[in-house]
Amino acid sequence: MKLRIFQVDAFTDYVFGGNPAAVCPLKEWLDDSIMQNIALENNLSETAFFTKKGEEYELRWFTPEVEVDLCGHATLATAHVLFDHLGYDKDEIHFQTKSGLLIISKEGNRLLMNFPTDEMPSIEPPAVLFQALGTRSDHVFKTDDYMVVLDTEDEVRDLNPDFRILSEVNARGIIVTAPGDEVDFVSRFFCPGVGIDEDPVTGSAHTKLTPYWAKRLNKDILEARQISERGGNLTCRYKGNRTEILGNARTYMIGEITF
């Protein structure tokens, strides 16, 4: 069997920045074990697979170890492939996913993602979380991820987590965030529990970050930067139960899988 594969750098306007994702267009779904093996072979934080269903597309995402319910940067990468390489000529792309309907459109030279907002309640964190991060905070929130709010950008940048201990935390991932020096807020995202120590740029995390910072800063349009080693820039718009996230994408590679 042969499959086309694209590798796209998401949330960046240049190659070698942002978060790389692989994208595989399918005529019909493969066995889950095959898609998981492709994701493992790619060894990227996510590989996206999609099929056409009527006027919409079904979309799924796999890390090297597990399937996940939501992945922003691989959704951005998939829309980029459809618009730029597969001749998609409508204004919006509708993706049906495990997290519901995701809508992607073009806005200028960027792609606009419309995702469900994820409001996070405040919680009392387990001691292992602070032990793993090497820091403490009085502001911790949780849904499927933890979100830890620190005071400064430097504190977020200087974190050096113990990923062995962090992998014991019962969550998809751990977001750490603070006010930005040159943007509204910065963040990092750690997810060793699903096989990725640190994700370069995480669109789905911003469905949680945006409502928090929108309310704290009393503004609905926010500029954000994920300050991983590769880094990435996002514009976030708080729309109540929906969050809009804008970002660029660049194609790095086009190839073919044979198996």
Give yes or no for a contact between 165 and 139, defined as CB atoms under 8 angstroms apart: no
Residue by residue, DSSP assigns 28-48 as SPPPHHHHHHHHHHHTSS-EE
Residue 46 annotated as catalytic:
yes
Q: Name the token pair of 145.
A: 């991820």
CA distance 43 to 1: 20
CA distance 205 to 208: 5
CA distance 23 to 174: 25
CA distance 48 to 40: 12
CB atoms within 10 A of CB 65: 13
Q: Name the token pair of 146.
A: 């933890």
Which own/partner pairs from 23-29 qualify as long-range (CB within 8 Å, at least 24 positions apart)?
A: 23/47, 23/48, 23/50, 23/74, 23/77, 23/78, 23/81, 24/48, 24/49, 24/50, 24/257, 25/50, 25/51, 25/81, 25/86, 26/50, 26/51, 27/51, 29/58
Q: Which of 46, 153, 198, 244 is catalytic?
A: 46
Left (φ > 0), alpha (ψ -120 to 50) or beta: where does 18 sit?
Answer: left
**Residues recognised as catalytic:** 46
